[in-house]
């Protein structure tokens, strides 16, 4: 059996940029708290995506939590949340004791369906915020979603955890709404081992998020707290990894795109395979190459055949409205997200894969169509 091929594993720069920044932190003993890497990582990421301000945090989940808090979401408030996503998108709604209403996806984008969103606004005009997700590095149909949120004067939060390096009509995902978040968890397109970023053009709100993330310490010599605090700040070591990784983001996107195009070329004509949607407005980062299977070969067959050969793959996210923990909340839509889940597979999209690795993957899959 060959070496294990991963879905998406950490890939540090060949140049060793990450170690340089970490070493700087060691040499100046800015291991903690904060320090230059944190400040610079915030600045560099903000420039990269085109946002005015950014707060470096301990995770993408923490960033969503503080975005909801900054949006003024509190107990009993309704928040519209894309159903097809990772649970980390929805959990912070519960941290705030708010009420999620899950919104279906459409086939055109795999992300939030603008028509379902419109229907949700009719049913819950009192809604406080909307969380849209850019899954697998595909962008949601932002023009329509932004327009609907503006019309209803509702805060828009973009979960761009999977879409760093993705553009919608030439503009980076994560900066269309009032708040955007990114994740640097282990399998994301770039990683700091763990971490997240909250971005916004509202510098005051970002400053406030930094305050909450460091235990809400008021200006005083002693420890004075007039608000609930959190320990959500990113460390200076972790930020050093992030600065190095940011330098190779474009290279990673390029490789992810190459992998996707390889799969299309090799597998695209097989009966019943449909790859993730490409739209003229979408410039994805191709974080995970994903496909849906409508024919005789089922997702489980593909995942099992790959696993037998020591290759990792996984299903599409199971929608939140189908999760035992969340199923009591309302869902608006026709069930597209459920169908994507039932028929979808994410193929190995590791940027360290060689030509030989890619060949191995497609040969195993092709064989399933000959049986």
Applying CB under 6 A, which residues contact ligand PLP?
A: 59-61, 85-86, 88-89, 133, 159, 161-162, 183, 185, 196
For ligand PLP, which is the closer residue by CB, 236 or 365? 236
Taking the complex as a whole, how short is the minimal distance between the CB of residue 195 and ligand PLP, in angstroms? 7
Cα distance between the two ends of the chain? 21
Here the tokens at position 228 are 């609930």
Minimum distance of ligand PLP from residue 366's CB (angstroms)? 29
Closest C-alpha to 154, from 179, 134, 185, 172: 179
**What is the distance between the alpha carbons of residues 243 and 345, in angstroms, rounded to a whole number?**
32
Shortest spacing between CB 243 and ligand PLP, in angstroms: 17
- Least separation in angstroms between residue 362's CB and ligand PLP is 26
- In the bound state with ligand PLP, the residue whose beta carbon lies nearer, of 61 and 235, is 61
Token output for 343 = 């028929």
CA distance 220 to 180: 31
Token pair of 87, please?
Answer: 């649970």
Tell me how far, at minimum, the Cβ of 89 lies from ligand PLP, in Å.
5
Nearer to ligand PLP, 41 or 262 (CB): 41
Q: Which CB sits closer to ligand PLP, 88 or 190?
A: 88
Residue 209: name the closest of 233, 182, 243 by CA: 233
- Residue closer to ligand PLP (CB basis): 237 or 297: 237
Both tokens of 178, joined, read: 């009032």
Q: Of the two residues 318 and 360, which places its CB atom closer to ligand PLP in the complex?
A: 318
How far is 289 from 15, CA to CA, in rounded Å?
27
Angle, vertex CA 110, rays to CA 301 and CA 339, nearest 5: 45
Tell me the two tokens of residue 148: 């609907």
DSSP states of 222-235: S---SS---B-BPP
Residue closer to ligand PLP (CB basis): 206 or 267: 206
Q: How crowded is residue 63: how many other Cβ atoms within 10 Å of its Cβ?
A: 33
Q: Provide, rounded to whole angstroms, the least separation between the CB of residue 159 and ligand PLP.
A: 5
Q: How far is Cα 184 from Cα 190, in angstroms, rounded to an integer?
A: 6
| Least distance in angstroms from the C-beta of 351 to ligand PLP | 17
């Amino acid at each position: 059996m060959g070496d294990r091929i991963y879905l998406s594993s950490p890939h540090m720069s060949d140049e060793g940029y990450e170690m340089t920044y970490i070493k700087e932190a060691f040499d100046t003993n800015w291991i903690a708290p904060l320090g230059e890497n944190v400040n610079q990582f915030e600045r560099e990421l903000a420039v990269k995506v085109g946002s005015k301000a950014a707060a470096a945090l301990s995770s993408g989940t923490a960033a969503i939590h503080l975005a909801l808090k900054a949006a003024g979401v509190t107990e009993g408030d309704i928040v519209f949340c894309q159903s097809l996503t990772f649970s980390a998108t929805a959990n912070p709604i519960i941290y705030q004791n708010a009420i999620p209403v899950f919104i279906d996806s459409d086939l055109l984008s795999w992300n939030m369906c603008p028509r379902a969103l419109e229907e949700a606004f009719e049913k819950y005009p009192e809604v406080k915020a909307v969380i849209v997700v850019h899954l697998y590095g595909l962008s949601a149909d932002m023009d329509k979603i932004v327009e609907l949120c503006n019309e209803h004067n509702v805060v828009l939060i973009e979960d761009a955890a999977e879409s760093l390096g993705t553009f919608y009509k030439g503009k980076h995902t994560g900066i269309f709404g009032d708040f955007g978040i990114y994740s640097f968890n282990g399998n994301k397109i770039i990683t700091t081992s763990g971490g997240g970023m909250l971005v916004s053009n509202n510098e005051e709100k970002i400053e406030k998020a930094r305050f909450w993330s460091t235990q809400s310490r008021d200006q005083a010599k002693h420890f004075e707290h007039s608000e609930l605090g959190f320990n959500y700040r990113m460390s200076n070591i972790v930020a050093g990894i992030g600065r190095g990784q940011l330098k190779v983001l474009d290279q990673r996107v390029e490789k992810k795109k190459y992998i996707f195009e390889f799969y299309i070329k090799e597998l695209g004509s097989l009966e019943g395979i449909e790859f993730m949607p490409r739209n003229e407005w979408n410039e994805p980062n191709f974080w995970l190459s994903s496909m849906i299977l409508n024919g005789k070969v089922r997702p489980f067959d593909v995942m099992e055949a790959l696993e037998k050969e020591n290759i990792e793959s996984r299903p599409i996210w199971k929608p939140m409205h189908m999760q035992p923990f969340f199923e009591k909340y309302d869902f608006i839509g026709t069930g597209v997200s459920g169908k994507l889940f039932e028929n979808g597979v994410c193929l190995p999209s590791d940027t360290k894969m060689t030509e030989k690795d890619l060949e191995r993957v497609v040969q195993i899959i092709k064989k399933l169509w000959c049986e």
